[in-house]
Structure 1
Amino acid sequence: MSPNSSTAPDPGPAPVRAMLVLGTRPEAIKLAPVARAMAASPHFEPLVVTTGQHREMLQQMLELLNVQAKFELDVMRERQELSKLTARLVDRLGEVVRAERPDLVIVQGDTTSALTGALAAFYEHVPVAHVEAGLRTGVADNPFPEELNRRLIGRIARRHFAPTPRAAGHLIAEGVPAGEVFVTGNTVVDNLLWVLEQGVGRDQFESSGALRRLLVTLHRRENQGDTMRAMGKALRRLADRGDAEIVLPLHRSPAVREVLLPELSGHPGIRIVEPLGYADFSATLAGCDLVLTDSGGIQEEAPTLGKPALVLRTTTERPEAVEAGAARLVGTDPDVIMDATVRLLDDEAAYRRMAKAGNPFGDGHATARIVAQLARDFGVEAAAASTAVPSVTPRPGGAGSYSTA
């Protein structure tokens, strides 16, 4: 008998090798807390793969968020079609899955990188976990292509981490087994609170407290062209009032710049800045009074900080914020946008109601719930200590509030 055979400590189960796929800024923001938590645990080995859609922004952001990418794929081509991007991503991600043989692939949200990450894993018989699962507008091509992407991922994934009970209800109504659906809250809340605690961002507003501060983001494909041009005119009319400062981080898309720059450049009340890093954007969000946006993620971040959000879209996959009163879906008509914004600028009671509505998207413990559930799934019981957070129960009826039990 070897002298060490009876005394060597049991090394325990091997770490769970989890491949996290991300390609865009929102994916980095929402998967960073999961990657950090796994990197800090002896029970997980995170393998972060960046697909490169937002390559320049991602490199700086991941460094800020304390996330190390193991693989960086170079798949972007100028003005490439979605079909070509999708094919290239499935091919490259499949190569990584075959080479690394992870125990699990984790995707987030509804991007092309999320869909292709799920497909590549499915083709190699690797289970998929979907963070921010169950969001739906009910319109297959609005937003495009995100709505169809998330529905398809919902058919592939075996673990669905829904941000709200309503999202969980969508999945269960579509036939996903209830035992595969977990309401966690949204990791965007976890990460926003984390980065603000670091105190590394710089607020982009320059005005004193005498002016109301409006943060605006516009980029969606379905809003581009004449619709976005009309929204630009509405923003100029708002700036003409003289009682507000508008900060607009301008998206890099040529289709956005070609429309908005002619409408907004040169106005003293409108400050156009280049796309902000996550820390600066978070600080600017914290410093604003009101948000006008066609983004999805900002609808979750703004209520966390008590900032009323006017959603410049005709549909939203995040109706919880609207139902809670923290956001209002105003559409894309410039007159409606103008009226809704002016009301919040002029009616202090209406503003306070929205600002104090609360956040239906989480309590800052989503990451702990996700990692703890995966630890249970893979038998890494020692990691289950992280379950010391409130549990959340899916409600198939689709209630919109986030409640803990």
Structure 2
Amino acid sequence: MAPILHELKDKNILHCICVTAQHREMLDQVLEFFKIIPDYDLNIMSKGQSLNLLSSKIFEEIDLVLEKEKPELILLQGDTTTAAIASMAAFHRKIKVGHVEAGLRTYDASAPFPEEINRQIIARITDYHFVPTPAAAKNLISEGIPENKIFLTGNTVVDALLWGIKKVNESISCKEINELEKIIDPSKKIVLVTGHRRENFGTGLKEICQGLLEISQKESIQLIFPVHLNPIVKDTVHELLSGQENIHLINPLPYPAMLWLMQQSHLIISDSGGIQEEAPTFLKPVLVTRKTTERMEGVDAGFSFMVGTNKNKLISKAFELLKMPPDYSNKKNPYGDGKAAEKIVRLITSS
């Protein structure tokens, strides 16, 4: 959302910024990097809270904001519980909704969970569907969404990445990047790993870790794994992978350091939707550790490869791509051209 907020500010369009802080630590460093100061910080995060408790907090707190501000339009992004509940709260008050990154689907309610149902709920409410790709638009049309409510804009994640990596390469000083430079062996290929999906908790995550352990046995490879703060992820990963040679388990990285590390990597292993959209800009292959993805455009373009949580698929495909990297010389990011925010703001102000 940062590129949209900057575009609204540049165009002198009256707006206010509300964050729920559903993920406090991850949010704050992004706000600082993009120089964004929220008008409302609901601070609803608490340790171990259920999705139902989280939802009830968001409903209560966002309603107070809507009552005070009485906006004509609420803009929300993605498929989080925050986005779903905010859309329903706006609907109850007959406030129009604009959905950034609309139309993504797996049509599997359990994967990703709860995101797939969240975005389907949002779609029934939304007045402006800002879709990243033609495939996303097609999904909405097949669900009966009127075509005059669907706008092909690309994804603002590409806008943010281009702005962010330029800042990283030109001017920013980041202690996390300095620390990464100390632990990375320049003679070895870098494999970046992330993981956080709920549907992989338990057996799936353990099998992924077993695959990573075998990949790390090859002396020419080093794995950098910023471990998610969720205790279910953190405890499993550290139990299976800590103290292993060629595996660096580190704390979650701030956005600029993550961009820098993606740029340095030879291969990315991840269940993140955002990384599937970001990696093509860096011309990096991604092994997707999920059984389904709502981002098939990356698969079709040869940037993403589905391996699920099968350790044997993970191992064989990782070695294959590291040995013979794909030729991306004539490829471009299928998720946008870096002008999505400009298009979205133009659309909402001209309607």
Q: What TM-score comes out, normalization by structure 2 length?
A: 0.95
- The correspondence for 1:133, drawn from 102, 107, 121, is 102
Q: Provide the C-alpha distance between the structure 1 equivalents of 2:261 and 2:330, rounded to a whole number of angstroms.
A: 19
Aligned pairs for 1:80-119 (under 5 A) are 80-119=49-88
Secondary structure at the residue paired with 2:326? Answer: helix
- The correspondence for 2:197, drawn from 202, 220, 228, is 220
Amino acid at match of 1:368: E
Q: Provide the C-alpha distance between the structure 2 equivalents of 1:62 and 1:315, rounded to a whole number of angstroms.
A: 31
> How far 1:209 moved relative to its partner?
4.0
- The correspondence for 1:316, drawn from 272, 277, 293, is 293
Q: Provide the C-alpha distance between the structure 2 equivalents of 1:357 and 1:269, rounded to a whole number of angstroms.
A: 31
Runs of 4+ aligned structure 1 residues displaced above 4 Å come to none
What is the aligned partner in structure 1 of residue 11 from structure 2?
41
Give the structure with the larger helix fraction: 2
- The correspondence for 2:144, drawn from 175, 196, 220, is 175
Q: Provide the C-alpha distance between the structure 2 equivalents of 1:195 and 1:334, rounded to a whole number of angstroms.
A: 33
Q: Please tell me the root mean square deviation across aligned C-alpha atoms, in Å.
A: 1.3
Q: Provide the C-alpha distance between the structure 2 equivalents of 1:67 and 1:213, rounded to a whole number of angstroms.
A: 32
**Is contact 1:325-1:353 (8 Å) kept?**
no
Q: Provide the C-alpha distance between the structure 1 equivalents of 2:56 and 2:112, rounded to a whole number of angstroms.
A: 21
Structure 1: state its 5+ residue gaps: 1-30, 378-405
Q: Provide the C-alpha distance between the structure 2 equivalents of 1:227 and 1:55, rounded to a whole number of angstroms.
A: 26
What is the aligned partner in structure 2 of residue 25 from structure 1?
none
**Is contact 2:266-2:322 (8 Å) kept?**
no
Task: Give deviations 1:197-227, integer Å, cap 9, x for gaps.
Answer: 1122527354344311100001111111121
> How far 1:67 moved relative to its partner?
1.4
What is the aligned partner in structure 1 of residue 340 from structure 2?
366
**Is contact 1:86-1:112 (8 Å) kept?**
yes
Q: Provide the C-alpha distance between the structure 1 equivalents of 2:89 and 2:146, rounded to a whole number of angstroms.
A: 23
- How many residues were matched structurally? 343
Structure 2: state its 5+ residue gaps: none
Secondary structure at the residue paired with 1:353? Answer: coil
Aligned pairs for 1:35-74 (under 5 A) are 35-42=5-12, 44-74=13-43
Aligned pairs for 1:6-405 (under 5 A) are 31-42=1-12, 44-199=13-168, 200=172, 201=174, 202=177, 204=180, 206-346=183-323, 348=324, 351-353=325-327, 357-377=331-351
Amino acid at match of 2:16: L
Task: Give deviations 1:133-190, integer Å, cap 9, x for gaps.
Answer: 0000011221100000000100001000000000011111111110110011110000
Secondary structure at the residue paired with 2:154? Answer: coil
Secondary structure at the residue paired with 1:251? Answer: coil
Q: Provide the C-alpha distance between the structure 1 equivalents of 2:291 and 2:328, rounded to a whole number of angstroms.
A: 20
**Is contact 1:307-1:355 (8 Å) kept?**
no
**Is contact 2:103-2:139 (8 Å) kept?**
yes
What is the aligned partner in structure 2 of residue 402 from structure 1?
none
Q: Provide the C-alpha distance between the structure 1 equivalents of 2:18 and 2:318, rounded to a whole number of angstroms.
A: 40
Question: Is the alpha carbon distance of 1:207 and 1:58 closer, same or farther for their aligned partners in structure 2, counting shifts above 3 Å?
Answer: closer
> How far 1:117 moved relative to its partner?
0.9
Amino acid at match of 1:58: L
Bigger-Rg structure (1/2):
1
**Is contact 1:306-1:356 (8 Å) kept?**
no
Amino acid at match of 1:365: K
> How far 1:320 moved relative to its partner?
0.4
Q: Provide the C-alpha distance between the structure 2 equivalents of 1:159 and 1:169, rounded to a whole number of angstroms.
A: 15
Amino acid at match of 1:336: K
Secondary structure at the residue paired with 2:313? Answer: helix
Percent identity over paired residues: 38
